[in-house]
Amino acid sequence: MTTRETLRPISAPAIPRFYNAASLDGLLRRAGLAGPDRLMARAVAAVLPFRVNDYVVDALIDWDAAPDDPIYRLVFPQPDMLPAEQVAPIAQLLARGAPTREVQAAAAAVRAALNPHPAGQRELNVPELAGTRLDGLQHKYPETVLYFPAHGQTCHAYCTYCFRWAQFVQEPHLRMASRNVDDLVRYVHAHPEVTDVLITGGDPMVMSAEMLARCVLPLLDEPGLGHLQSIRIGTKSLSYWPARFVTDPGADDTLRLFERVVASGRSLALMAHYSHPRELETDLAEHAVRRVLATGAVIRTQGPVIRSVNDDAGSWAAMWQRQVRLGMVPYYMFVERDTGPRGYFEVALLRAYEIFSAAYRSVSGLGRTVRGPVMSATPGKVVVDGVHTVGAEKYIALRFLQCRDPGLVNRPFLARYDPRACWWDDLRPPVGAAPGVPWSSWGADHGPDIPLAR
């Protein structure tokens, strides 16, 4: 393991400094944006969350390439990211210095039109115990419960494409969060089928080591949780704030906590979100990965394929290769979900499949642990397996990696060929096919995105 002393001093800060919408204009100028574009970008930042820290600004973004730089595009609002007819009125309010209250009201109306909670996540997956809804928990697939600790519902920086964006804007009714780890413990206790708890956000690694320990330790210490095998933490901190594991005041306590999980006989997995190979290029990022792995934790990597950020096979191949070299395990390549500014970032399913395949072919088997491109849709996680040709007809081949109905997992099925389809609800059963598994296997109770219902 490398030592702290080998780090470049610039990349080893202890405390992050944040930029928010109030300091956005100066950064937009630095990227070379003209006045009207800056105004539109600020209007977008009134609708969607904006936050970035000095590590991302100073160590990850290539300012000479901005505004086209992929990391710049990953975190900065783009002037044309949302439909102009929605954003222009907000830009006008900003231009004439309208009161914040007015800007906020206009922004709230735009947000409501952006499908803030995709895949029915607020209605469908919230579990109950003894007749009480457990807000801040989700249980969709039998083995895995998601836990959203209230203090982990922000991030070190916000991705422009985030599908959890509704968590970060000041509208409490759009938020899922738990203040009570007892709910989680009682729920897992009552559900012997649960083998995994996934602590997620936001980014739970924004929490102090002490706060994180309050979520994790009860899962280790409580009797009757022998069926719990893995604790996962979904995080982008290895990219956006690797100091969290190196020089941050809570770094060592966090690593000791990870060691305690491993010592309890359970697996601790960081589900690390990476969007671009540059996130793995700093000494600090590499050092953070090595320190986490030295605790016995596993790091599995995942991220969505995003137009103008990483929609090329070279980026994915480079990411997977670097990840494998550092001892991480590539896990999922996702398709951008149907929420927020998805029209701006979306990549057609078959194009995502081409990107995935070209990258997959160019890495060794150690990198081919990755699955994708995967849609996390209402019925489950669906992977696109490419184009299947029978006679003169082409079809899109699909498979469930996870499903509300576990019996459907890993069974191949076909959809009508459509190179423009970008999401699950763009897909249709093959013409003439008898309604069958899986197209007819979820009924009207599963929401509006049912292919046969259209």
Ligand X SMILES: *Cc1c(COP(=O)(O)O)cnc(C)c1O
Instruction: Give the footprint of ligand SF4 on this chain (CB under 6 A).
Output: 155, 158-159, 162, 164, 201-203, 236, 273
Q: Shortest approach of ligand X to residue 371 CB, angstroms?
A: 9
Rule CB under 6 A: say whether 146 interacts with ligand X. Answer: yes
| Residues ≥6 apart with Cβ < 8 Å to 34 | none
Place of tokens 């000494």: 283
- CB-CB contact of 335 with 306 (8 Å): no
Q: Shortest approach of ligand SF4 to residue 205 CB, angstroms?
A: 10
Q: CA 219 to CA 253: how far, in whole Å?
A: 18
Q: Shortest approach of ligand X to residue 146 CB, angstroms?
A: 5
- Taking CB under 6 A as the criterion, the residue among 38, 42, 111, 140 binding ligand X is 140
Which option in ligand SF4, ligand X, none does residue 155 bind, with CB closer than 5 to 8 A by kind? Answer: ligand SF4
Q: List Cβ<8 Å contacts ≥24 apart for 218-225.
A: 218/181, 218/182, 218/184, 218/185, 219/184, 219/185, 219/188, 220/260, 220/261, 220/264, 220/266, 222/185, 222/189, 224/189, 225/185, 225/188, 225/189
> By CB under 6 A, which span of 34-42, 141-149, 206-214, 406-414 interacts with ligand X?
141-149
- CB-CB contact of 407 with 372 (8 Å): no
| Total of chain residues touching ligand X, rule CB under 6 A | 10
- Taking CB under 6 A as the criterion, the residue among 50, 141, 161, 413 binding ligand X is 141
Place of tokens 């210095």: 97
Closer residue to ligand SF4 (CB): 236 or 278: 236
Among all residues, whose Cβ is closest to ligand SF4?
162
- CB-CB contact of 380 with 343 (8 Å): no
Rule CB under 6 A: say whether 378 interacts with ligand X. Answer: no
Sign of CA dihedral 212, 217, 220, 224: negative
Closer residue to ligand X (CB): 7 or 403: 403
Please give the DSSP secondary-structure letter assigned to residue 433. Answer: P
Q: Shortest approach of ligand SF4 to residue 47 CB, angstroms?
A: 15
Closer residue to ligand X (CB): 262 or 401: 401
Q: Shortest approach of ligand SF4 to residue 201 CB, angstroms?
A: 6
Tell me which residues touch ligand X (CB under 6 A). 138, 140-141, 144, 146, 198, 376, 381, 401-402
